[in-house]
Structure 1
Amino acid sequence: MPTGELGGHPAYWHMYPDGPRDVLAIHCSLAHSGAWTGLAQQLQDIASITAYDLPMHGRSGDWDGHSDLHDVATEMGAAMLTHGMDLVGHSFGATVALRLATLFPDRVRSLTLVEPVFFAAAKAIAPDAYDAYIAEERAMFGNLDANKESVTRNFVRAWGDGRRWFDLPAQTRSYLCDRIIFIPATNNSLNLDVHGLLAPGVIERAAMPALLVQGAAAHPIMDVICQALAQRLPDATRVTIPGAGHMAPITHAGLVADSIRDLFSHAP
Structure 2
Amino acid sequence: MSAAIPYWREAGSGPAIVCLHSNASVSGQWRTLMTRLADRYWMLAPDLYGSGRSPDWPSDSTITLQDEVDLIEPVLRRAGDPFGLVGHSYGAAVALRTAVQHPTRVRALVIYEPTLFSLIEMEGPAPNDADGIRNAVAAAATALDGGDRFEAARCFIDYWMGPGSWATTAENRKVAIADSVVNVRRWAHALFTEPTPISEFGRLQMPVLYLTGGRSTQSAHGVARRLLKALPNVSCVNLAGLGHMGPITDPDAVNRVIENFLLRSV
Q: Give the TM bin, normalised by the shorter chain.
A: 0.7 to 0.9
Contact 1:39 1:249 in 2 (8 A): no
CA 1:14–1:266 in structure 2 vs 1: closer, same or farther (change >3 Å)? same
Matched, 1:78 2:79: no
C-alpha offsets along residues 150-188 of structure 1, whole Å, 9 cap, x if unaligned?
121121122249984344344421111112122211222
Matched, 1:14 2:15: no
C-alpha offsets along residues 217-267 of structure 1, whole Å, 9 cap, x if unaligned?
111221121111111111111111132112211222222223223322442
Contact 1:11 1:52 in 2 (8 A): yes
Residues 244-259 of structure 1: pairs in structure 2 closer than 5 A: 244-259=242-257
Equivalent position of 1:177 in the other structure: 178
Residues 79-228 of structure 1: pairs in structure 2 closer than 5 A: 79-81=74-76, 82-124=80-122, 128-130=127-129, 132-133=131-132, 134-146=134-146, 147-160=148-161, 164-193=165-194, 196-198=195-197, 200=199, 202-228=200-226
One-letter amino acid of the counterpart of residue 109, structure 1? R
Contact 2:89 2:115 in 1 (8 A): yes
Greater alpha carbon shift after TM alignment, 86-95 vs 167-176: 167-176
Deviation at 1:206, TM superposition (A): 2.0
Contact 2:12 2:43 in 1 (8 A): yes
Aligned-partner Cα distance in 2 for 1:256–1:131: 25
Contact 2:12 2:40 in 1 (8 A): no
- TM-score normalised to the size of structure 1? 0.86
Deviation at 1:112, TM superposition (A): 0.8
Aligned sequence identity (%): 26
Query: Among residues 42, 61, 65, which one is paired with 2:36 in the alignment?
Result: 42
C-alpha offsets along residues 6-29 of structure 1, whole Å, 9 cap, x if unaligned?
9421321101214x3310011111
User: Once superposed, what is the RMSD of the aligned Cα atoms?
Assistant: 2.4
3-state DSSP of counterpart to 2:24: coil
Q: Runs of 5+ in structure 2 lacking a partner? A: none
One-letter amino acid of the counterpart of residue 29, structure 2? A
Contact 1:152 1:176 in 2 (8 A): yes
Contact 2:129 2:218 in 1 (8 A): no
3-state DSSP of counterpart to 1:35: helix
One-letter amino acid of the counterpart of residue 78, structure 1? E
Contact 1:32 1:53 in 2 (8 A): yes
Aligned-partner Cα distance in 1 for 2:123–2:45: 32
Q: Runs of 5+ in structure 1 lacking a partner? A: 1-5
Deviation at 1:65, TM superposition (A): 4.1
Deviation at 1:72, TM superposition (A): 2.9
Aligned-partner Cα distance in 2 for 1:27–1:249: 9
